[in-house]
Structure 1
């Protein structure tokens, strides 16, 4: 039996309010009243049977359930926008569609994208998320940011950045009573894991640290998206295996700390991948130049 979908208006209100962390700003974006947003969110929470927001001291925060729910809803709305654009056959000379991993979009690309939009206001960037390889022609995608060794046939692959592996945790975790001064102390902490392509990260790092790899098999928590794993670390649930591109902003802002100085370089990294025939288009060339500079910390 197929589950009944919740109200589309409620989902739109949720996505906008979660993005702004403000009912007022969500209402302004959707051209409705703040009361309407509040009612739509309340109705959506009742339909789902899940609380989505915590309202306190004029601040709005997402519940853990909402943090898990948001990436899928955001991706669905983005897919609908892209599908509508294709249906209406709009002139896409100034529209740049980029596919990337949801985690990289959330933790690295989106916080930097405003700088590109300010530098190139005539280019309309559309971000779509996917974990698999894209068919540039079928999916109407101009470029993709992908993780690997850059050995893909028939495309141009421009190097962006490498990742280092190292444990990260909330500063509060270091003050919670259980020590975390040396890698052996990990035995007394919850380890946070990410499945799929990141499932081996803990074992690789433990090998580099000279620790028994079976430590990674102790009871922990596993997530299917690395940015959810990182958020769990920020929330103090346990210790996560971080990758430079996903945690550098959280470290610089004090939301995460690096308890040990052992980092494991990887032999792969992120590339901007584009079809050979369109790789030198003006909009893609501008984005490539900005993206490479941003990855190198020059923008």
Structure 2
């Protein structure tokens, strides 16, 4: 009689925890809480009737049973990934699904997608604009994702795109009027537009950090309007509703079109450890549709970065 297999989620939690020797790292990889990983491991141990982990003096360790089980589980998941890859190749090769952060989608990617469609006229593209971190093991229809974070995505192919520079921006109309915005101290007369950062980027700089770096005192850094996506804050700035602190990639087109300006110059930027990344499972890398989009995207990034460099040189001159 065949033995009843444990739940797949429990095996995934065990594989991630065994490979990382950390419930916290496994939780981050699986986009769940450490408590959820611990619960899955406990259930698996009860199912198997044996302990799989033990606490060492400084780290988590596998028991003898865990060491015996881990290679087989990893091999099983590798075989499953390979089978799914073969299924991907068998399905319509001109169908691409992209998961992308909403603000990057609306403010940078979509305005450039017409060039991709001209290069790949027969390829159908579907977008999943979401802040949700896609789980490629569960959402196998997603080919690749554009994420905002530190680039730490275990088990995935990771390529840095751009980002890491925050700039205060506003509508040109705020440079005039009763309280013209000329120096950082003038911000006391204007509305600050905020985007509370998501859990993936809890230490990204905000107005409090920027004002402190600029040496500005006497301004409440928490006052103003709040938005759940950066693109909304940027649009509010375009409409003259205040001053936004936004990643340069999200405001580049509006700056070039004159809809936004940097009231204190591009030298008044703030650095952030977070950037935008292209990520995808290794088994997806051989798919023609993924290679075509990846190559086009990296060309667009090179063009964008070159434009920024030239603008900086022209400004310095």
Retained in 2: the 8 A contact 1:168–1:240?
yes
Q: Deviations over 1:174-230 (max 9, x none)?
A: 12221211101101111111123377421232232122496312x311111111111
2:286 to 272, 280, 285: 280
TM-score by length of 2: 0.62
Distance across 2 between alignment mates of 1:280 and 1:206? 47
Cα gap change, 1:291 to 1:142, in 2 (>3 Å): same
- Which one has a larger percent strand, Structure 1 or Structure 2? 1
Distance across 1 between alignment mates of 2:249 and 2:214? 21
Retained in 1: the 8 A contact 2:143–2:290?
yes
Which position in structure 1 is the counterpart of 2:104?
104
1:268: how far off? 2.2
Q: Deviations over 1:97-141 (max 9, x none)?
A: 000111111111000000011011122111111112102243210
What SS does structure 2 have at the residue aligned with 1:216? coil
Structure whose alpha-carbon radius of gyration is higher: 2
What SS does structure 2 have at the residue aligned with 1:154? coil
Which position in structure 2 is the counterpart of 1:168?
169
Q: Deviations over 1:154-182 (max 9, x none)?
A: 10011111231111000112122212111
What SS does structure 2 have at the residue aligned with 1:176? coil
1:143: how far off? 0.2
Distance across 2 between alignment mates of 1:201 and 1:238? 15
Distance across 2 between alignment mates of 1:138 and 1:94? 22
Which position in structure 2 is the counterpart of 1:117?
117
1:260: how far off? 0.7
1:265: how far off? 2.3
**Root-mean-square deviation over aligned CA pairs:** 2.0
Distance across 2 between alignment mates of 1:289 and 1:230? 29
TM-score by length of 1: 0.66
What SS does structure 2 have at the residue aligned with 1:196? coil
Distance across 2 between alignment mates of 1:112 and 1:188? 36
Retained in 2: the 8 A contact 1:98–1:128?
yes
Distance across 2 between alignment mates of 1:181 and 1:278? 50
Which position in structure 2 is the counterpart of 1:40?
none
Retained in 1: the 8 A contact 2:205–2:270?
no
1:288: how far off? 0.7
Structure 2: give runs of 5+ residues left out of the alignment.
1-89, 307-317
1:293: how far off? 1.4
Q: Does 1:293 align with 2:294?
A: no
What SS does structure 2 have at the residue aligned with 1:111? helix
Which position in structure 1 is the counterpart of 2:239?
235
Which position in structure 2 is the counterpart of 1:158?
159
Retained in 2: the 8 A contact 1:155–1:273?
yes
What SS does structure 1 have at the residue aligned with 2:188? helix
Q: Does 1:216 align with 2:221?
A: yes
Q: Deviations over 1:225-249 (max 9, x none)?
A: 1111111111111111121111000
Retained in 1: the 8 A contact 2:207–2:245?
yes
Alignment: residue pair count: 209
